Structure 1
């Protein structure tokens, strides 16, 4: 189910699902290991924390789809949990590798503010999650929530950093920021178009 009817559009749940349990567990685990990595100054622990975050993020989405447990509450929980993980892991990364501070200064506001607002915009339409935003606008969806966009938005930046390509990481972060700014303007127009502003 991708769309919700008018009555269920205001319902969030159910909240007790396998997918949401995975989200909570992966968030607690990634944040805990991320804080441990920060305190120990440990790159291996940071790698483990990122692994927990990304694997858990894939698993909770897979569980939600396979078990037919996609809910608006689950989508919001996933979005908020991604921000908690990213904030802790990015701070840990910058503490261990100060040379990535410029990348973080571009990436964090883009992900924590612009991407959060964009990701929560699905709540303005009768959609279950941003994964179905293509029903509102295919271009905005393709640039933000398609599988390729999700990979580039975070993994592209972190992957470039992991390979010591800091200029490339900064270039990717700036490109993502430009896409988020364009998308924010596009979503504002869509809200006006559909009388949801």
Structure 2
């Protein structure tokens, strides 16, 4: 069920679920390996940490849907855990490649602040997670949480950096800021429209 019926009946769901355990484990391992990469100055360890983060992020979402264990608590845990992993791995990337500092600042501010606020805004409506925001507004969902948007929002910047295309990475990061700002404007109007502000 994607919508919870009466507004007062919105529950967070059980916390002890398989996907939440996956989220917690992938976060601890990714952050730990990411910190080890910074200490060792190792691009290989940093790549492994990114791999653990991305694989775990896909796996927890798949498990939640497959096992019927999607919950609002799980969605929030996933959002917060993504930010923890991204902050550590972004710092690790800058420590290994100081030339990407400007890209990292733009991307991290966008992801850690704007995207976090947008992602948590689903809590204002009776939906389980941002994955179902198309029930509220298809345009905002399409550019932020559709499968294509999820890949593009992070992989675009990281991929460009991985291939040494720092100007392209900065252009993608700036474009993401523009998308997030537009989405925030729409979100404010939606909150007013639905009397949830």
- TM-score after normalising by structure 1: 0.98
Unmatched tracts of structure 2, length 5 or more: none
- Report deviation, 1:5: 2.0
- TM-score after normalising by structure 2: 0.98
Paired residue secondary structure (1:196): coil
1:83 maps to which residue? 83
Q: Does 1:186 align with 2:178?
A: no
Please list the CA deviations of residues 52-107 of structure 1 after superposition, one character each: whole Å capped at 9, or x if unmatched. Answer: 00000000000000000000000000000000000000000000000000101110
Aligned structure 1 segments of 4 or more residues deviating by more than 3 angstroms: none
2:67 maps to which residue? 67
**Counterparts of 2:152 and 2:114 in 1: how far apart (Å)?**
16
Unmatched tracts of structure 1, length 5 or more: none
2:164 maps to which residue? 164
1:147 maps to which residue? 147
2:9 maps to which residue? 8
**Counterparts of 1:64 and 1:28 in 2: how far apart (Å)?**
19
Q: Tell me how many residue pairs correspond in the alignment.
A: 196
Q: Does 1:17 align with 2:39?
A: no
- Report deviation, 1:13: 1.6
1:32 maps to which residue? 32
Paired residue secondary structure (2:70): coil
**Counterparts of 2:63 and 2:157 in 1: how far apart (Å)?**
26
Q: Aligned-residue CA RMSD in angstroms?
A: 0.6
